[in-house]
Amino acid sequence: MATNHGVIVREAVEPRDLRAFVGLPRRVYAADPAWAPPIWAAERTAYRPGRNAVLDRSAHALLIALSGDRVVGRVVAYVDPRFNAHFGARTGFFGSFECEDDGRASADLLGAAEAWLAGRGMDRVRGPIDPVAERWGLLVEGYERAPVYMSPHNPPYYGRLLEASGYAGVKDLLAYEADASAGYSIPERFARFEATLAARRPTLTTRTIDPRRLDRDAEHIRRILNAGVDGNWGYVPVEADEMAGVVRDLRPVLDPAAVWFVEDAGVPVACCLGFPDVNVILRKTGGRLFPTGALRLALGARRLRDYRLWGLAVLPAYQGRGLDVLLYLRLHRALAPRGVRLEANYVLEDNFRIRNALEKLGMTPIKRYRVYEKGIL
């Protein structure tokens, strides 16, 4: 569709348009040393049927904005029926947003996404929430820091582009850091807490994930997350196919020392999921796995000192007993001897229980992400 600005927005359905959609970030981030490319071999197939559980169940459109022959912006608009059924909403989403610093192009691109969503009965649009890379929000503080794997990174002007198109922030998420090589250590009082908990609840034990029974333990993680995190803002229970996608992506770089369970009489009741930050390697390989990138990824992940804590959850019946702290203690003790820098995200800005726990553990906030929303009817 042509616009009054001379920008053309169209769906990326032809092979050349899909190549341009996937390849645009190369130009946008060409001068940004903090950016980490995706694994290009996976990215080129990520939007195809059967490759992504969210897009497979969602009506969606891949849109590109062109100024002349130049692709200057991209976005995916989608309607997730499970989200709307879970929340009784008519919310559409946008993700995979990338754009040059061109207010006309971004306005037309977002306007086309809004029109597409409105045509499917949606009354508001929320994003960016990337259905492929599991990234939520725009980075609005901490641009100078490199992103950990599966977390947002963007130029500072993206927020300005969204706000110029009528979007307002609806929720902020924070990232916290603990850097053992910089002298971080857990306050001594938490060791005393651990001893007290062990005396009071002798049936509680901890263990790492079992790589030989990965599918079984992944199902434990899914069950605990769905029960323990349900009710958090924007959270939709994870289906088995989505968890299978997470397992597929993380299996090559799995570090059992970063995935822990608390069990009560042998039954998992709490878990945390961490993984090495392979973005460190992807920057060096340029996101390429061939001819040597795959080997560098598999071998290099074992030597990384940057990690991400992706999720932590406790079954409702066990909340308020300090199991989240116990998990963090186990995780820290397993990784600290390597001098690991651990980044925990995403933490909802108004989840004061988790924020207070992290801050009492001596972790410091280093980044802020923002999810935006706009009414479209």
Q: Which helix (DSSP H) or strand (DSSP E) does residue 349 occupy? A: none
Judge whether 153 and 34 are in contact, CB under 8 Å: yes
Whether 3 shows a pLDDT value over 60: the answer reads: no
Phi, psi (rounded to 5 degrees) for 355: -60, -45
pLDDT of residue 354: 87
pLDDT bucket at 298, cuts 50 / 70 / 90: low
Tell me the average pLDDT of the chain: 90
Phi, psi of 227 (to 5 degrees): -85, -35
Closest to 137 in 3D by CA, of 100, 169, 90: 169
Tokens of 298: 């598999």
Peptide bond into 365 cis (omega under 30): no
Contact 163, 370 (CB under 8 A): no
- pLDDT tens profile 87-113: 999 999 999 999 999 999 999 999 999
What fold, for 178-371? Aminopeptidase (3.40.630)
Beta carbons within 10 angstroms of residue 235's beta carbon = 15
Using an 8 Å Cβ cutoff, are 315 and 334 in contact?
Answer: no
Residue 206 DSSP one-character state: E
Residue matched to tokens 């359905």: 13
Location of each CATH 3.40.630.30 domain in the chain: 7-172, 178-371
pLDDT digits (tens, 9 = 90+) for 244-295: 777 777 777 889 999 999 999 999 999 999 999 988 888 888 888 765 556 5
* CATH code of the domain occupying 7-172: 3.40.630.30
pLDDT given at position 300? 66
Q: What values do phi and psi take at 291, rounded to 5?
A: -85, -20
